[in-house]
Amino acid sequence: MRSFIITELICSSCGSRFQLPRTLPKQKPIGHVKDLWCPTCYEVTKYIEIGNLSLTHLKYKYDNGLELCPREERFLQALSQCSSSIDTIYDKEQVLHKKL
């Protein structure tokens, strides 16, 4: 039997999320970047593997200068490589959720 893990990717432009089932051997690390068609941006954008990290929690730690774990560091690095930041996607995600 194959085990699947649902992982989550987040659009580096608009903060919308995409859930992807992956088999265990195909797990990608947090911060992995994937080109995906974004239904909100209407174009192919850089989606970043966020896995089970909490964006709210991460933003809180980041804003308060608390120590980040390596997975959180990797995610922030990936964001800056995609010319985005935690502030950008956090704010945009808040807007997205209000619209729904």
Would you tell me which residues interact with Zn ion (CB under 5 A)?
11, 13-14, 38, 40-41, 45
Q: Which is nearer to Zn ion, 43 or 67 (CB)?
A: 43
Least distance in Å: CB of 38 to Zn ion? 3
Least distance in Å: CB of 70 to Zn ion? 26
Question: How many residues are given for the chain?
Answer: 100
Q: Find the helix or strand (DSSP H, E) in which 97 lies.
A: helix 86-99
Least distance in Å: CB of 13 to Zn ion? 4
What value, to the nearest 5°, has the Cα angle with vertex 92 and ends 84 and 42? 80
Residues 6+ apart with CB under 8 A from 18: 8, 9, 10, 11, 36, 47
Q: Which is nearer to Zn ion, 29 or 39 (CB)?
A: 39
Q: Which is nearer to Zn ion, 27 or 80 (CB)?
A: 80
Q: And the tokens for 65?
A: 């200068």
**Alpha-carbon 89 to chain mean position:** 9
Least distance in Å: CB of 9 to Zn ion? 11
Q: Which is nearer to Zn ion, 68 or 85 (CB)?
A: 85
